[in-house]
Amino acid sequence: MGERVDDTALDTLFRQARTYAKWQARPVPDQLLRDLYELVKWGPTSANGSPARFVFLRSTEAKERLRPALTPRNVEKTMTAPVTVIVGYDLRFYEQLPKLAPHNPAIAKLFHENPELVEVTARRNSSLQGAYLIMAARALGLDCGPMSGFDNAKVDAEFFPDGRVKSNFLCCLGHGDGSNLEPRLYRFTFEEVCQVL
């Protein structure tokens, strides 16, 4: 525990990883999606609440259901990706807390009585879990194309009609086609955005 990974791993996860919009015609097997989730689930969340819900869209039919919610510039990359994931969050995640956090029986009641806390906690922690998904996918040899650029209300109506789950963001998964990658954009330096107090 606590050992530093080598530079090759850091390059794969961060320094050389890119956001892809074009994809090779290589499938992503079900087992790889299961392996992906098996890594994602270990990332920390508040009270171990694990509010993220993942819908993996692989079939043309499933992606066609998503198409009307996409902004025009996101249609082609989404429809051609081997898999597009809807990263959502369950607004009743706290109902599972007796199983997920049995050491703290009062925590579920806290959420049950505070819908504002539920929303902000679920959205924040599903964002964390979505980031874990990106890093785990890269660790397993997949490329990613996370995006906003869609109508959340349309996605929710189509995929989560009971209102319990809300969409957070989308992420295309597959093996990227780097033929159209632009040079990497600027990133802030430590001095520009960090403080040590």
Domains and CATH numbers, the chain: 7-177 (3.40.109.10)
Residue 172 has pLDDT above 90, yes or no: yes
Segment 16-22 shows an average pLDDT of 95
For residues 171-182, average pLDDT: 94
* More confident of the two residues 107 and 153: 153
Q: Which amino acid is at 22?
A: K
Instruction: State the average pLDDT for the chain.
Output: 96
**87-96: per-residue pLDDT in tens?**
999 999 999 9
Q: Which of 162, 174, 160, 102 is nearest to 126 (CA)?
A: 160
Cβ-contact 20, 105 below 8 angstroms: no
Tokens found for residue 65 = 């259901």
pLDDT at 1 over 80: no
